[in-house]
Amino acid sequence: MTDVQLPSRLSYSSLSAYSECGERWRLERLHKVPAESWFATVAGTAIHEITEMIDRQEIGAYSGPIPEFKGIFDREIRQAEDEGTILRISGSKRTKLCIDGGPNKRDYDWWLIYGPQMIESWQDWKTDNGWQLATLPDGTPGIEVPLYSPLAGRNFLGYIDRLYVYPNGDLVIVDLKSGNVPASTTQLGHYRVALKRTYGLVADWGAYWMGTSGELHTLTYLGEYTDELVEHQYAMAWAGIEAGVFLPNITSNCRTCGVRAYCRAKGGELSKQIPVVSFDTTLGVAFAGQGG
């Protein structure tokens, strides 16, 4: 019998993953099963790291060299492979290379072309809009702003990619995305509440900057994301997790799920390696029993 450790905190990504599919969350977060990931995810990490260095260098907060995309990309791929992660190709199959794919979709070679282009597009966008980075109360710039104020009485951790000051003085949360446009602005709204709690700053606007277009995708008013709304969402997630509620959500997205081989709801070939129940809520003791 192996102990299963409940998380000490929830991030927005963890909350989102739990709400999308409880079983996937259980397999990934509690049982740590070997998962598949995407070249796009690894490339996104590289783009975030390099753009952060560039932005810090511009304000004199970083004096080191700016690495090439390929070096950081290759490093992240090696790390993922060392952890046993299988990287998959996303995007669309096209006869010629284009922003949404190519003959081999968005494979390694695709990212070597378009990854650097996205970084260049970020620099162009900053030059064109002329917005100023916000300054936090402690004097640090609004780059990779850490958010750590509790939500629903539990630990929370997140990072705002950039916090800008709009020309009229309003604060704007900007999150950099190198893949598809997110289905909602929920992430930005949750960050709004966490920003206010952590620093006392109110950002009523937010947007995703999309590497595929080099532009902001719809500047959105975030005032509807109140403390009460966001608190309740985290409270519900914690209640479900601690009660052992991990409902599978069977959709067409299952075919791209990184842990489908371990999912009983999909008849995964490795699913019997994982117990049906992760912990006994009547005893309050976490355990992983024998699958059968």
The per-residue b/e assignment along 200-232, b for 16 or more CB within 10 angstroms, e otherwise, is ebebbbbbbbbbbebbbeeebebeebeeeebbe
Quote the pLDDT of residue 2.
52
Quote the pLDDT of residue 274.
93
Domain segments of the chain as ranges: 9-33+230-286, 34-130
Inter-residue contact 279 to 244 (CB < 8 Å): yes
CA angle 156, 165, 72 (to 5 degrees): 60
Quote the pLDDT of residue 107.
97
Q: How many residues does the chain have?
A: 292
Distance CA 224, CA 204 (A): 9
Region of residue 103 (phi > 0: left; psi between -120 and 50: alpha; otherwise: beta): alpha
Place of tokens 């922003």: 99
Distance CA 135, CA 232 (A): 30
Quote the pLDDT of residue 223.
96
Quote the pLDDT of residue 35.
82
**pLDDT tens for each residue of the chain, 292 residues long:** 356 889 999 999 999 999 999 999 999 999 999 888 999 999 999 999 999 999 999 999 999 999 999 999 999 999 999 988 899 999 999 999 999 999 999 999 999 999 999 999 999 999 999 899 999 999 999 999 999 999 999 999 999 999 999 999 999 999 999 999 999 999 999 999 999 999 999 999 999 999 999 999 999 999 999 999 999 999 999 999 999 999 999 999 898 898 999 999 999 999 999 999 998 765 444 444 433 3
Quote the pLDDT of residue 36.
87
